[in-house]
């Protein structure tokens, strides 16, 4: 029965996923295009993904990638933010920018008949972003206000302090939005220099789809891409989490103890055993109700409403981590249970029932993760960006379907580095 269900699922996926890879050659640079035609709605969307332009490139200007993305939302110098936004709204065009860890992304979406004009507006933005003093000061003020509100966001504080432990002396040890000190010190010329250095043709990947022919899309994109200057492409550096078991406690006026924990997880994105990590992570703490941590901490002991953990494996970094909230007086007990349960999982592994349930969910829910054009393009981009062949995700599912309990538990036991836990806690201030 398992094989029948999986085969049907993969067949369905094949019907839905009709992505193709192409390229646009401009200034002797081959810009890759991930594309899927979908005429179910008269809509076209595109992402210009800029590699090596995310927050891990901040350097000494912490928060600059996020700051740049915010400034790119201020329209052009000629039109200003208000007129630019009104023009987009009048034509129901979505156009924005966002910075992640590794990339900066321009998003454009519109009705089919408005798409050429949407790309004209994107071209204007790329040619003359609103890097004015007024726009700069506005974004600085908004960013400082947002950072001020983070002072009472205990999840944010606990998570940030954990990252400082796990990834000390790496680009992941600072806040993606920076802090008050780094933002106050930021200069307009710094933002302009970051844009010039990182937003370059050599780093562009196009992800597009909708009610348009590929060749027509490529023709429309030539003026857009012509606005990019050539630069230098580079490989993303990978960082492992630190091995030292440390703890940082931050005292706040908190009614709950916010517990964040993490450890190294030695795995690269192209590791052949990545599919095993997905299954193991699901069983331990990623599946919510029914996971090991949730069962032990909430169901059996009533220490928290929820408890969650996962493994993170990306091109730039990898780690294991999780979090929960509990009463301040239960802080030490909760930490003890987390340590014990993770150690028990590594030593004893999963059960046959847990593996069966994990397979049922991961395989059975797969069609739901490919329902929309956006979902399918995201997967296709993931495969391309990480150097996989098209269809890599389907092959991973086949491996999950065939995974034996013996192989899974051997994998779990091998990764005992996840027991080397560090903790970041926000809890109630001690009485003077």
Structural domains in the chain plus CATH codes: 18-225 (3.30.830.10), 239-428 (3.30.830.10)
pLDDT at 1: 39
0.75 exceeded by the pTM? Answer: yes
**Cβ-Cβ contacts under 8 Å for 29 (sequence gap 6 or more):** 201, 202, 230
DSSP string, 168-228: TTSGGGS-TT--HHHHHH--HHHHHHHHHHHSBGGGEEEEEEESS-HHHHHHHHHHHHTTS
pLDDT at 364: 87
Q: Which two tokens stand for residue 152?
A: 């009472």
DSSP, collapsed to helix, strand or coil, labels residue 412 as helix
pLDDT at 6: 44
Q: Do the Cβ atoms of 324 and 423 come closer than 8 Å?
A: no
Q: Do the Cβ atoms of 81 and 75 come closer than 8 Å?
A: yes
pLDDT at 430: 67
User: Which of 178, 222, 232, 203 shows the shortest CA–CA distance to 68?
Assistant: 178
DSSP state of 59: T
Give CA–CA dist 137/143, Å, rounded: 10
pLDDT at 11: 38
Q: Quick one: residue 28, left, alpha or beta (phi over 0 = left, psi -120 to 50 = alpha)?
A: left
Kindly list the averaged pLDDT for each block of 10 residues, start to end, along the chain of length 432: 41 53 93 94 96 95 97 96 95 96 96 97 97 97 96 95 96 94 97 96 96 96 94 89 93 93 96 96 89 90 90 95 94 95 96 95 82 87 91 92 97 97 91 54
pLDDT at 259: 97
The pLDDT tens digits of the residues spanning 81-102 come to 999 999 999 999 999 999 999 9
pLDDT at 302: 87
């Amino acid at each position: 029965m398992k094989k029948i269900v999986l085969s049907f699922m993969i067949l369905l996926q094949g019907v839905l996923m009709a992505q193709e890879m192409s390229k646009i050659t401009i200034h002797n640079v081959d810009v890759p295009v991930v594309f899927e035609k979908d005429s179910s709605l008269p809509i076209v969307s595109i992402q210009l993904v800029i590699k090596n332009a995310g927050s891990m490139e901040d350097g000494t200007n912490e928060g600059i990638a996020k700051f740049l993305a915010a400034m790119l939302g201020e329209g052009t110098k000629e039109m200003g933010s208000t007129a630019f936004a009104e023009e987009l709204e009048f034509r129901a065009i979505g156009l924005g920018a966002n910075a992640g860890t590794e990339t900066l992304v321009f998003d454009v979406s519109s009705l089919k008949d408005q798409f050429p004009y949407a790309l004209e507006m994107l071209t204007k933005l790329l040619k003359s972003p609103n890097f004015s003093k007024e726009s700069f000061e506005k974004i600085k003020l908004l960013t400082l206000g947002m950072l001020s509100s983070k002072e009472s966001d205990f999840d944010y504080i606990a998570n940030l302090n954990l990252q400082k432990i796990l990834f000390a002396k790496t680009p992941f040890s600072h806040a993606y939005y920076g802090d008050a000190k780094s933002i106050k010190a930021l200069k307009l010329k710094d933002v302009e220099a970051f844009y010039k250095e990182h937003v370059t043709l050599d780093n562009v990947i196009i992800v597009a789809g909708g009610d348009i022919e590929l060749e027509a899309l490529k023709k429309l994109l030539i003026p857009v891409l012509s606005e990019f200057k050539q630069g230098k492409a580079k490989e993303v550096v990978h960082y492992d989490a630190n091995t030292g078991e440390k703890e940082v406690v931050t005292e706040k006026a908190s009614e709950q103890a916010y517990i964040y924990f993490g450890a190294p997880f030695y795995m690269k994105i192209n590791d052949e055993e990545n599919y095993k990590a997905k299954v193991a992570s699901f069983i331990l703490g990623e599946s919510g109700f029914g996971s090991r941590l949730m069962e032990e901490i909430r169901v059996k002991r009533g220490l928290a409403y929820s408890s969650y953990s996962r493994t993170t494996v990306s091109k730039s970094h990898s780690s294991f981590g999780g979090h929960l909230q509990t009463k301040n007086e239960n802080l030490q007990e909760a930490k003890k249970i987390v340590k014990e349960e993770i150690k028990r999982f590594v030593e004893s592994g999963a059960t046959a029932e847990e593996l069966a349930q994990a397979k049922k969910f991961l395989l059975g829910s797969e069609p739901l993760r490919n329902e929309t054009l956006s979902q399918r393009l995201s997967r296709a981009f993931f495969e391309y960006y990480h150097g996989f062949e098209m269809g890599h995700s389907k092959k991973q599912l086949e491996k999950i379907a065939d995974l034996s309990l013996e192989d899974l538990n051997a994998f779990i036991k091998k990764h005992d580095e996840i027991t080397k836990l560090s903790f970041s806690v926000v809890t109630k201030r001690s009485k003077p």
